[in-house]
């Protein structure tokens, strides 16, 4: 049985590795000639870590992951701690650590695990067709590939989504812009082993440790969609957006390199309930695009990959049946993640200023118990518990 996998991002590579481990032949086709991950880093929560462990990457991932032992929220203007707590109870409950990792390193780990030379780069799929026995994908260079089934991991702008759903779905602007990058750890900005977030005015500034003595940083600012992006004014723009914020935030803005700082307008897609059409399955952002507000988009793609390989390998009623079982196990789970992230997004970014003010007030009384309970619930809803 041969799978055609479209897209060599987190979803496509996790799926290809999982399918091969389950005994399927795979061929991976990626549109770009060279992978340049959008975004500097990603937090892999234990549900995602468990999936990568199951795919044989436990040691490599541990080496890439930052030591994130504590979590803290600080007041935007005074910089004082609103709440700070250990992540140890979470690790103890779910049995695994969270790992913030540099995206380029995660991508390289996945690609090298599969075999870089086996991926066909510069192959942009334009069309997919299927018969009772197989699938054909056409590429923009006029070539084609044939297989028994096709995994569409072609991301949030998926062209295959339209084929599966029979309709076009629009991405929804979530109302804020995110800037992100990597800097060397500076403990005058935040402790090296802590996920630190400054909150105020519906904005946030966050730092997470990744390996190699680096912080993954991000700035969120509620803004209209479509503003011009200009690297030459990036530092001054951030200075304006975060005017009056605490010294560590000003120091971070002084430290960042505008040339390597990414700017992303954050979107999601209203959850839909069809991931599969016959022998073609959507996976990762192609199936469920989420805002990054609970850090679960990539983790969900890893979960998809593990479940897809499991349902195909452990049933005997054929490919279409296996894919239907994959869809049945993933639709509700991923809908829950997308809607949880949207809710978190709205509170963090002051969609309703009163609700956000109440959240800031609650943080002063937060012991960590409620936050960790919510995170554990999300993590334990994954396929590997
Ligand atoms: P992608 O990574 O988009 O990969 C799709 C691949 O398909 C690309 O390589 C693309 O070139 C290729 N492709 C596209 N079209 C075609 C075509 N026609 N033919 C062939 N190939 C094609 N998730 C987390 O788990 N934790 C986080 O902390 C986190 N933080 C985030 C922060 C930000 C700012 C953003 C924007 C997202 C974040 N995410 C996070 C979400 C995560 O990045 C995505 O969910 C994840 O990258 C999705 O992987 P994917 O493989 O489905 O899609």
What is the ipTM metric for this complex?
0.99
Which of ligand 1's atoms lies nearest the C-alpha of 284? 52
Confidence of residue 28 (pLDDT cuts 50, 70, 90): very high
CA–CA dist 295, 25 (Å, integer) = 31
On the question of pLDDT at 194 being above 80, the answer is: yes
CA–CA dist 144, 154 (Å, integer) = 16
In this prediction, what percent of the chain has a pLDDT beyond 90?
98
Using H for helix, E for strand and C for coil, what is the string for 104-123? HHHHHHHHHHHCHHHCEECC
Is residue 135 within 8 Å of residue 129, measured between CB atoms? yes
Side-chain half-sphere CA neighbours of 70 within 13 A: 15
pLDDT computed for residue 159 by the predictor: 97
Confidence of residue 193 (pLDDT cuts 50, 70, 90): very high
pLDDT digits (tens, 9 = 90+) for 90-146: 999 999 999 999 999 999 999 999 999 999 999 999 999 999 999 999 999 999 999
Average pLDDT taken over every residue of the chain: 97
State how far Cα 112 lies from the chain centre.
Answer: 20
pLDDT computed for residue 39 by the predictor: 79
What are the tokens at 382? 């994954």
CA–CA dist 232, 357 (Å, integer) = 34
On the question of pLDDT at 38 being above 80, the answer is: no
Protein residue with least CA distance to atom 50, ligand 1: 11
DSSP 276-336: EETTEEE-GGGT----GGGS-HHHHHHHHHHHHHHHHHS--S-HHHHHHHHHHHHHHHHHH
CB distance 264 to ligand 1 below 6 Å: yes
CB distance 285 to ligand 1 below 6 Å: yes
On the question of pLDDT at 319 being above 90, the answer is: yes
Answer yes or no: pTM beyond 0.90.
yes
- Ligand 1 center–CA 316 separation, angstroms: 31
Which 3 state secondary structure label does DSSP give 26?
Answer: strand
pLDDT digits (tens, 9 = 90+) for 270-294: 999 999 999 999 999 999 999 999 9
Protein residue with least CA distance to atom 43, ligand 1: 298
pLDDT computed for residue 172 by the predictor: 98
Is residue 375 within 8 Å of residue 292, measured between CB atoms? no
CA–CA dist 113, 49 (Å, integer) = 15
CB distance 319 to ligand 1 below 6 Å: no
Confidence of residue 77 (pLDDT cuts 50, 70, 90): very high
φ/ψ of residue 238, rounded to 5: -65, -40
What are the tokens at 139? 């590429």
Confidence of residue 229 (pLDDT cuts 50, 70, 90): confident
pLDDT digits (tens, 9 = 90+) for 135-182: 999 999 999 999 999 999 999 999 999 999 999 999 999 999 999 999
345-356 mean pLDDT: 98
pLDDT computed for residue 344 by the predictor: 98
39-47 mean pLDDT: 95
CB distance 100 to ligand 1 below 6 Å: no
CB distance 7 to ligand 1 below 6 Å: yes
Which 3 state secondary structure label does DSSP give 28?
Answer: strand
Is residue 47 within 8 Å of residue 375, measured between CB atoms? no
pLDDT computed for residue 224 by the predictor: 97
- Ligand 1 center–CA 154 separation, angstroms: 8
């Amino acid at each position: 049985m041969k799978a055609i996998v479209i897209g060599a991002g987190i979803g496509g590579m996790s799926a290809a590795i999982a399918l091969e481990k389950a005994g399927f032949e795979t061929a991976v086709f990626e549109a770009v000639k060279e992978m340049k991950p959008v975004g500097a880093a990603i937090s892999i929560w234990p549900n995602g870590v468990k999936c990568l462990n199951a795919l044989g990457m436990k040691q490599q991932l541990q080496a890439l992951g930052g030591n994130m032992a504590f979590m803290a929220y600080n007041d935007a203007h005074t910089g004082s701690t609103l709440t700070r707590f250990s992540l140890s109870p979470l690790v103890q409950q779910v049995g695994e650590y969270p790992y913030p990792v540099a995206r380029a390193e995660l991508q390289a780990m996945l690609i090298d695990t599969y075999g870089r030379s086996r991926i066909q780069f510069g192959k942009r799929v334009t069309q997919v067709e299927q018969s009772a026995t197989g699938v054909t994908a056409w590429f923009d260079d006029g070539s084609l590939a044939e297989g028994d089934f096709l995994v569409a991991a072609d991301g949030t702008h998926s062209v295959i989504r339209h084929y599966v759903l029979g309709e076009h779905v629009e991405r929804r602007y979530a109302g804020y812009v995110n800037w992100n990058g990597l800097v060397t750890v500076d403990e005058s900005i935040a402790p090296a082993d802590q996920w630190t977030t400054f909150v105020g005015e519906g904005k946030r500034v966050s730092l997470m440790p990744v390996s190699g003595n680096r912080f993954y940083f991000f700035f969120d600012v509620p803004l209209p969609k479509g503003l011009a992006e200009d690297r030459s004014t990036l530092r001054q723009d951030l200075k304006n957006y975060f005017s009056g914020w605490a010294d560590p935030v000003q120091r971070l803005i002084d430290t960042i390199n505008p040339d390597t700082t990414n700017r992303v307008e954050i979107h999601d897609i209203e959850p839909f309930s069809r991931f599969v059409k016959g022998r073609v399955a959507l996976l990762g952002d192609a199936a469920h695009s989420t805002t990054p507000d609970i850090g679960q988009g990539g983790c969900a793609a890893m979960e998809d990959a593990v479940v897809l390989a499991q349902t195909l390998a452990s049933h005997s009623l054929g490919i279409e049946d296996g894919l239907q079982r994959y869809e049945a196990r993933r639709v509700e789970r991923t809908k829950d993640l997308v809607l949880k992230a949207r809710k978190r997004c709205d509170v963090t970014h002051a969609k309703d200023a009163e609700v956000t003010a109440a959240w800031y007030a609650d943080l002063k009384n937060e012991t960590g118990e409620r936050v960790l309970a919510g995170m554990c619930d999300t993590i334990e809803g994954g396929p590997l518990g």
